[in-house]
Amino acid sequence: MADKGGNIARDIYAVILAGGSGTRFWPLSRETCPKQMLQIAGEDTLIRQTIKRINGYIPEKNMLIVTTEDKAQDLRFHIGSLGPSAKEVQFLSEPVGRNTAPAIGLAAIHLNQISPSSIMVVMPSDHAISDKERFLNGLELAIRGAREDYLATFGIKPTHPETGYGYIKANESESVGVEGLFKVVRFVEKPDLQTAKTYLANGSYYWNSGIFVWKTSKILSEIERHLPTLYKTLKEIESLFFKPDKLNNPKTQLLNNLYCCIEPISIDYGIMERSEDVLMVPATFRWSDLGSWTALDEIQEKDQHGNILLGNTIDIGSQDSIVFAGERVLATIGLRDMVVADTPDATLIAPKEKIQEVRQVVDILKKNGREEHLIHRTVERPWGSYTVLEKGLGYKIKRISLKPGARLSLQRHRCRSEHWVVVSGTAKVTREHEVYLVHTNESTFIPVNGKHRLENPGSDVLQIIEVQNGEYVEEDDIERIVDDYGRSS
């Protein structure tokens, strides 16, 4: 398929929007683990599925993930685990999120430098799509429309009168020269239930999927026409930072200032609703924007009582409920239209109709200075992961898992010493000028301020239990002297 239509792959770039934080999936989502990094629908996390969906059709080096600076490193590690070629995926960091139109505009001026004749496939990183082949078939149609200087978008045939999505009214009788592509009459905002019902009955209204295909040059000229202020700022950024790698330099204060002054606006509202050159591909795949826990109802298989029960659940007689458990036992009895979501340190329980109020829970956690909205007990790292088992006065206990061949940075802590007990595998330990092996059921001690490094020289996963001792046992007490992942102090 990559060869259909002549050199499809070479001038096509995927722009994957990954700036969202996904508060609405708390407690599973956290600031450091936003929705796109969750595995809530399908066999992998949403952003990894987004990459896999176009993998083989668009080469990794033509994939551009647009996100904010604070998320870029974690996302890079997260993508990296897909395999060696994932390292070729490019990142473009916004100093701060300004909704989709500026993010897409920034990607456009970046691509304009690399390939002025390129075609952009803009995709959210956190949507669920059921079928790769159908998606790629639609994408091919959309690309044909884009080559004709249209803005092409994917419309989803509604299955119910949804009030949470915007709609696209298509004109299915006006031909645009390519079979299966329709002219768009207009974009409409989220309707009320009555209106949504008439849209559903009408048949020519589609859900707006937020997946767009266009020439880089076309979207820039549309931005120039419909969002002239944004265009002016983008051109200023282009002239000052025309070298693409500068965009990732966090010290570029001028870029920060320019970008922060941009008015947030969505591409739908800023361009799609105003442009006259919009085409629609009716999608043949199942799709959800996963706007909240209840969106799982649209894409997950249900049991005979309408429940979605995942993880370690025991249920007696619930109906139409979503229970998302982990390793802990979640026992539910006779629930009706409820959502229960469990993680090791926090649980959410709400009726489906009130699930939107989870944002208020996150606000309260923030206000109270807690951590349950920020981080998970288990944190993924490029070398493996660690899990905080307990934190008490003057100590913290972690289980650390190292992938075969991986190593942590050469580091040092000002305020804590560390006891390491190897519970599986063999550790190679650097402590000051010594280097030695610690086998399963052996332990070692790292004194305060001692330069040290933990490494897994074996071919199995290394697991150690780390007991930290000290008056201050927070993550920011770390000086990285040498790091394989570019995190040196």
Residues that bind a second copy in the complex, under the rule CB under 8 A: 27, 314, 316-317, 328-335, 338, 340, 342, 344-351, 353-355, 357-358, 360-361, 364-365, 370, 372, 389-390, 392-395, 397, 399, 417, 419, 421, 423-424, 440-441, 443, 445, 463, 465, 467, 469-470
Nearer to a second copy, 261 or 448 (CB): 448
- Residue 35 near residue 290 (C-beta atoms within 8 A): yes
Nearer to a second copy, 93 or 318 (CB): 318
Nearer to a second copy, 94 or 342 (CB): 342
- Residue 44 near residue 26 (C-beta atoms within 8 A): no
Measured from the CB of residue 233, what is the shortest distance to a second copy in angstroms? Answer: 39
Measured from the CB of residue 359, what is the shortest distance to a second copy in angstroms? Answer: 10
SS3 94: strand
Nearer to a second copy, 144 or 376 (CB): 376
CA 7 to each of CA 11, 56, 193, 212: distance values in angstroms, whole numbers, following the listed order: 7, 13, 45, 20
365: phi then psi, degrees, rounded to nearest 5: -60, -45
CA angle 244, 247, 249 (to 5 degrees): 125
| 351 CB-near residues (< 8 Å, 6+ apart) | 337, 338, 339
Containing 421, the helix (H) or strand (E) segment is strand 417-424
Nearer to a second copy, 108 or 338 (CB): 338
- Residue 209 near residue 156 (C-beta atoms within 8 A): yes
Nearer to a second copy, 310 or 361 (CB): 361
**Rounded to whole angstroms, how far apart are CA atoms 225 and 136?**
31
Nearer to a second copy, 353 or 475 (CB): 353
Nearer to a second copy, 70 or 337 (CB): 337
**Rounded to whole angstroms, how far apart are CA atoms 481 and 410?**
5
Strand-strand pairing, 167-171 and 205-215:
antiparallel
Measured from the CB of residue 388, what is the shortest distance to a second copy in angstroms? Answer: 10
Measured from the CB of residue 418, what is the shortest distance to a second copy in angstroms? Answer: 10
Tokens (6 digits) for 172: 């299915």
User: Radius of gyration over alpha carbons of the chain, in Å?
Assistant: 25
Nearer to a second copy, 54 or 338 (CB): 338
Nearer to a second copy, 273 or 418 (CB): 418
Task: Transcribe 118-143 into DSSP letters.
Answer: -EEEEEESS-EES-HHHHHHHHHHHH
Beta bridge partners of 408: none
| 59 CB-near residues (< 8 Å, 6+ apart) | 9, 88
**Rounded to whole angstroms, how far apart are CA atoms 146 and 7?**
15
Measured from the CB of residue 376, what is the shortest distance to a second copy in angstroms? Answer: 13
Measured from the CB of residue 465, what is the shortest distance to a second copy in angstroms? Answer: 5
Measured from the CB of residue 90, what is the shortest distance to a second copy in angstroms? Answer: 38
* Sign for the pseudo-dihedral over CA of 265, 270, 273, 279: negative
For residue 344, count CB atoms less than 10 angstroms from its CB and return exposed for 0-12, middle for 13-18, buried for 19 or more: middle
SS3 281: strand
Burial profile 361-400: b = 16 or more Cβ within 10 angstroms, e = fewer: bbeebeeeeeebbeebbbbbbbbbbbebeeeeeeebbbeb
**Rounded to whole angstroms, how far apart are CA atoms 233 and 255?**
10
- Residue 298 near residue 158 (C-beta atoms within 8 A): no
Nearer to a second copy, 195 or 440 (CB): 440
Sheet holding 410-412, edge to edge: 434-438, 427-431, 452-455, 410-412, 479-482
Nearer to a second copy, 180 or 311 (CB): 311
Measured from the CB of residue 441, what is the shortest distance to a second copy in angstroms? Answer: 4
Measured from the CB of residue 35, what is the shortest distance to a second copy in angstroms? Answer: 18
Nearer to a second copy, 42 or 470 (CB): 470
